[in-house]
Structure 1
């Protein structure tokens, strides 16, 4: 199937939802009927079924979104919408009741031209509405609206109800705005109160909202318009996307990614001047020339675009230029490939009735406490795999997954940058493989508390860690990406584009991205908040682990499975040097006063250490002596034995003295050793942070201080 067929199938499978407002995650969601779109209304007019004015009110922003018949995209010129429209079209007495200055007009000639357009708008709107009312597809509520607007008293009624107020000079003019909209562009919707005698069960049992005064929610009005509008097409043509004969589409819907997306189109070929070569045409006629190269059916276009809008608003990710949406053909709930393991687990928790949510946009950072390892709400890899097993148990044998990505290079053009269909079971298998092969312990903040989960972070967090910078001061600092003039983050788009095949198709992780992550994690001085550095470090460890896992799958000599726990038998040079760096950092930090956050020598020299470990270690070791001297004898002996005995003893001599740069495994050794040392007080007899008591002196304990462990 192609993407249009997939979207049309999605629309048809959910056709009973079309035009029905549903609540989804606290927001109203509507699958647009064919020929419909939404507009932000500023004014609501109430009339009865005879077309008599009852009242009006100004709408608040949160209730302004209105489902309206919108058969063709309105660009320039005078073109009325079939039912609801702005005051310039709906109010026939607007130019007489209101004084128009047109403050944006450059001169009097332009002002007069705008005034002529204003006067020509209403007759066009009324004529189109009359044709609908006189057609076999008319509707009582539409007729009521026609009878009311035909009286040409809309502006006068609104002035009488004080919806249109006077300015400081007592004149009703276009200088007065309605909810920030200029007066002639204020959008109007109607409520029609029918005189039907109804019982409560009649209203509650009506799935089509036929008894609702809100005309925009009445599905019988929607069906009336669809039947009427399709009857206005004079000819049919072959739809190249479905192979069926149907009325052809001249223009295609806008606002695909959101109501803010007012210009970008997926399909556009109706320009008649200065266009690029599109083949040899028989004619350049505006009405027929656009379909000589390709003909797309109107219903096909509407279904595909409306289904795409609906699924993006329902479960899509749209941020900083990235627009991704994935769905299962029966709309079974499946985890998002771009989400973190914690987010996937949180959705399972919500389904089970727990309303706790995971948050990754930290508002305030936790207190810095190097020894604080979160014990509560620890989400293990086993829990994550159990969650995926739960998703898999709900799938059928024909369950398919569709993944689609959109992007726009210019405001007027939208491109589909990725489309893939695959079996839902394979999708879950590859998702599990991604999180298993990248599994590391990652931290997040919830209710101002530090919590931990195993797995992989979201793609957005990877982008922030690899390409972001820390911005802000103290506890308000955040990791942010650079944005361009269009307020997009190109590096976020690049991360989504490049890592998507790794997750969905099981492809190789980009090595340059892994190198960039290692370089970021090797520079702790770039981060003021320890939380941010730890996040960058752990993400780098995840990516390094994935890289060496892939090498193992390809049976390369360097391939290895790197565990999250400290491996005391690992003789890899980089891994061992990472362990040594972690011990040096721990020794110095153990001598700090409570609350002291001064940078350690190990952190200060970390970048140089990763490039030239043997030479830099001599500097770190020499600077470490005063801190070793402050420890009590038992702690001092433990650390020196750890360095000179356990770790150094695992080195091959040529690896130990080599000044070759370390690879990413040194971060794995560094983080694993740090974690192991944090647990040491609970598992060993001597306290890690013990400092010499007042009665102890260096003479009481001679351990050959100053000698570098070999």
Structure 2
């Protein structure tokens, strides 16, 4: 129960955030939910006065639909069984005239709802605004009033419309708002209430702390027997059922559940579910609500799988899935681009992590949690890691320093490209390995596989490295920007997997066979690109790149023979071409005779290719200054 204890600790450390709404990037609101409450997307807001009289109603905008609602143990974990929420709910529960407009329903949802709401209103914890809701709903005219107000729509037979047809659009014009915010038919609309009281500015019951506290006090007074809580170690009223809607308001999966009334899952091991694990109601509510809040706040979901990282004391921690680009500020990026060595880059990484490291938070932990659902009703923890914050930051720093290469980035404001040395984002690694059209299922699987490589310093999977190297060796099959990104990511992974000492700057002393062949390919590419000028077609070096990686000796002969006409046409007066020819001779001299064969190259050839190409493109000034003796003599004449 360590994960629940950490979530409980997080909830209690952020008690001041309970009930306070924040906005996500998509403008949807979320909040840390109080005990005995959950969230639901509402479609209709009904406004009443203190005497329970109808005032108005409106369709809820999607950005404002997230609603904190009171719930019981049974309603918070309901699936198909009709169990009402205490205050806000769907039409079948809150509308006394539901059967008249929608037909028969299973059970007696409206009667059950009114009985439950009446018990709250009749208790010593009752709230006057809740009583006004009860008074109005007892009239049983909710759907009638909503139709009269133009919120809901009925057909000629007096039944709620299932959908807005073309005939209705011809007769009545544009589709009504209710059909734009609800995925199913109108009968599934979720209703919330606001009550206008003299002298009280807050009319929204779902935002009224006094209403929330009223139900919390009422629900705690009705809790049952106590037992030892496995999370807190105290004897407290236990939870029979645990909440769902963890990943989103429509999620029916649960992390903790016990179903042994049929099928006999326990096979005689336990008399009841509490013998397996007993969790108090308060601990369950706080832990689950903290988890929902953290997922909304800083988690991300891909194909149903949730990735979440947070700190127990300070919630914000560096994202291990993000690239180094997110750690740099604008000044660092403008100052970058030196000689390609990693010392300056390592200093930038330390500077980027300093804000997380030096915050007087020395004893906190970082929690890494991955959730996924194998079935629609069961959610499982597929990865859990609880580690010291300093160790976590050391591992993140180590990853960014060792799995790095030079990458390009785009500045939206200036509409310009730049370069930086750093580690790629994990999502970009997935797309580099499997293509830009890779499915979410494939990408989320790779994200899970890469996490131990980052936080536990495990080796990068060899199949992943091979896949990225293979795709980087096929430049003709990709757009130029995609291939450049794939190439830089491949170099970063090869460096991490093979030898972390390799630098982005050209290593002129490296005599590795693959590295030298990669340098040859880069020189041929730059030389032919110089000759082609403005022509956009691929060079022979790039067109033969895949074959070159598999059969370098034979393929190089083909590339070199195709290169000779360009060399002859440009002659020795082109200083850059002359510099390329000079580099070509140097690299050929370094190749040992026994290395010049058709044995396949390792991924290191990409490092040689990238570094040599970078050196040629960034040293044009040096190339211009480099003159052969024959040119100098001719100029002197």
Name the TM-score class by shorter chain.
0.7 to 0.9
Pair 1:87-2:74 in alignment: no
Tell whether the 8 Å contact from 2:260 to 2:266 is kept in structure 1 after alignment: no
Tell whether the 8 Å contact from 1:381 to 1:455 is kept in structure 2 after alignment: no
State the match for 1:617 in structure 2. Answer: 556
Instruction: Report the structure, 1 or 2, having the larger helix content.
Output: 2
Deviation at 1:436, TM superposition (A): 0.6
Residue of structure 1 aligned with 2:421, choices 447, 454, 457: 454
Query: Per-residue displacement from partner, 1:189-248 (whole Å, max 9, x unpaired)?
Result: 11111123x6xxxxxxxxxxxx51000001111111112112222322222333222232
Deviation at 1:416, TM superposition (A): 0.8
Q: Which 4+ stretches in 1 moved above 6 angstroms?
A: none
State the match for 1:268 in structure 2. Answer: 257
Deviation at 1:27, TM superposition (A): 4.2
State the match for 1:182 in structure 2. Answer: 185
Pair 1:626-2:576 in alignment: no
What TM-score do the two structures reach when normalised by structure 2?
0.88
Question: 1:688-699 maps to which residues of 2 (within 5 A)?
Answer: none
Deviation at 1:684, TM superposition (A): 2.1
Structure 1 range deviating more: 538-547 or 329-338: 329-338
Pair 1:157-2:145 in alignment: yes
Query: Per-residue displacement from partner, 1:507-566 (whole Å, max 9, x unpaired)?
Result: 222222222222221221221x111001111001001111233xxxxxxxxxx6100011
Structure 1 range deviating more: 177-186 or 658-667: 177-186
State the match for 1:708 in structure 2. Answer: none
Deviation at 1:321, TM superposition (A): 4.3
Q: Tell me: CA distance 1:638–1:16, structure 2 relative to 1, closer, same or farther (3 Å).
A: closer
Q: Tell me: CA distance 1:145–1:543, structure 2 relative to 1, closer, same or farther (3 Å).
A: same
Pair 1:171-2:158 in alignment: yes
**SS of residue paired to 2:573:** helix
State the match for 1:108 in structure 2. Answer: none
Q: Distance in 2 between matches of 1:415 and 1:175?
A: 36
Q: Distance in 2 between matches of 1:274 and 1:454?
A: 58
State the match for 1:431 in structure 2. Answer: 396
State the match for 2:174 in structure 1. Answer: none
Deviation at 1:146, TM superposition (A): 1.3
Q: Tell me: CA distance 1:322–1:42, structure 2 relative to 1, closer, same or farther (3 Å).
A: closer
Tell whether the 8 Å contact from 1:443 to 1:535 is kept in structure 2 after alignment: yes
Q: Distance in 2 between matches of 1:579 and 1:175?
A: 67
Residue of structure 1 aligned with 2:583, choices 629, 642, 654: 642
Q: Tell me: CA distance 1:279–1:340, structure 2 relative to 1, closer, same or farther (3 Å).
A: farther
Residue of structure 1 aligned with 2:487, choices 515, 537, 546: 537
State the match for 2:605 in structure 1. Answer: 666
Query: Per-residue displacement from partner, 1:373-401 (whole Å, max 9, x unpaired)?
Result: 999xxx95543331112321224221321
Structure 1 range deviating more: 531-540 or 56-65: 56-65
Tell whether the 8 Å contact from 2:224 to 2:238 is kept in structure 1 after alignment: no
Pair 1:11-2:11 in alignment: yes
**SS of residue paired to 2:52:** coil
Q: Distance in 2 between matches of 1:222 and 1:412?
A: 28
Tell whether the 8 Å contact from 2:154 to 2:161 is kept in structure 1 after alignment: no
Q: Distance in 1 between matches of 2:626 and 2:41?
A: 66
Residue of structure 2 aligned with 1:280, choices 263, 266, 269: 269
Q: Distance in 2 between matches of 1:321 and 1:634?
A: 61
Structure 1 range deviating more: 289-298 or 675-684: 289-298
**SS of residue paired to 1:685:** helix
What TM-score do the two structures reach when normalised by structure 1?
0.79
Q: Distance in 2 between matches of 1:166 and 1:498?
A: 53
Q: Distance in 2 between matches of 1:586 and 1:185?
A: 64
Q: Tell me: CA distance 1:160–1:514, structure 2 relative to 1, closer, same or farther (3 Å).
A: closer
**SS of residue paired to 2:624:** coil
Residue of structure 1 aligned with 2:209, choices 219, 225, 244: 219
State the match for 1:57 in structure 2. Answer: 58
Pair 1:480-2:470 in alignment: no
**SS of residue paired to 1:451:** strand
State the match for 1:309 in structure 2. Answer: 292
Q: Distance in 2 between matches of 1:162 and 1:337?
A: 50
Q: Distance in 1 between matches of 2:163 and 2:465?
A: 57
**SS of residue paired to 2:384:** strand
Q: Tell me: CA distance 1:409–1:166, structure 2 relative to 1, closer, same or farther (3 Å).
A: closer
**SS of residue paired to 1:634:** coil
Pair 1:78-2:82 in alignment: yes
Q: Tell me: CA distance 1:521–1:183, structure 2 relative to 1, closer, same or farther (3 Å).
A: closer
**SS of residue paired to 2:248:** coil
Tell whether the 8 Å contact from 1:42 to 1:187 is kept in structure 2 after alignment: yes
**SS of residue paired to 1:641:** helix
State the match for 1:497 in structure 2. Answer: 448
**SS of residue paired to 1:561:** coil
Residue of structure 2 aligned with 1:237, choices 198, 223, 227: 227
Pair 1:585-2:542 in alignment: no
Tell whether the 8 Å contact from 1:137 to 1:225 is kept in structure 2 after alignment: yes
Q: Distance in 1 between matches of 2:4 and 2:267?
A: 22
Tell whether the 8 Å contact from 2:30 to 2:66 is kept in structure 1 after alignment: no
State the match for 1:23 in structure 2. Answer: 23
Q: Which runs of 5+ in 1 are unaligned?
A: 103-113, 199-210, 283-288, 357-372, 469-478, 550-559, 689-699, 701-710
Deviation at 1:175, TM superposition (A): 4.3
**SS of residue paired to 2:5:** helix
Q: Tell me: CA distance 1:81–1:680, structure 2 relative to 1, closer, same or farther (3 Å).
A: same
**SS of residue paired to 1:436:** helix
Q: Distance in 1 between matches of 2:458 and 2:542?
A: 34
Q: Distance in 1 between matches of 2:163 and 2:552?
A: 71
State the match for 1:191 in structure 2. Answer: 194
Tell whether the 8 Å contact from 1:442 to 1:453 is kept in structure 2 after alignment: yes
Tell whether the 8 Å contact from 1:321 to 1:493 is kept in structure 2 after alignment: no
Query: Per-residue displacement from partner, 1:253-278 (whole Å, max 9, x unpaired)?
Result: 22222234x22221222253336445
**SS of residue paired to 2:466:** helix
State the match for 1:141 in structure 2. Answer: 129
Deviation at 1:4, TM superposition (A): 0.7
State the match for 1:653 in structure 2. Answer: 593
Deviation at 1:649, TM superposition (A): 2.0
Q: Tell me: CA distance 1:92–1:232, structure 2 relative to 1, closer, same or farther (3 Å).
A: same
**SS of residue paired to 1:480:** coil
State the match for 2:387 in structure 1. Answer: 422
Question: 1:283-682 maps to which residues of 2 (within 5 A)?
Answer: 289-345=272-328, 382-447=347-412, 448-468=415-435, 479-481=436-438, 483=439, 488-489=440-441, 491-527=442-478, 529-549=479-499, 561-594=501-534, 596-635=535-574, 636-644=577-585, 646-655=586-595, 657-682=596-621
Q: Distance in 1 between matches of 2:106 and 2:516?
A: 82
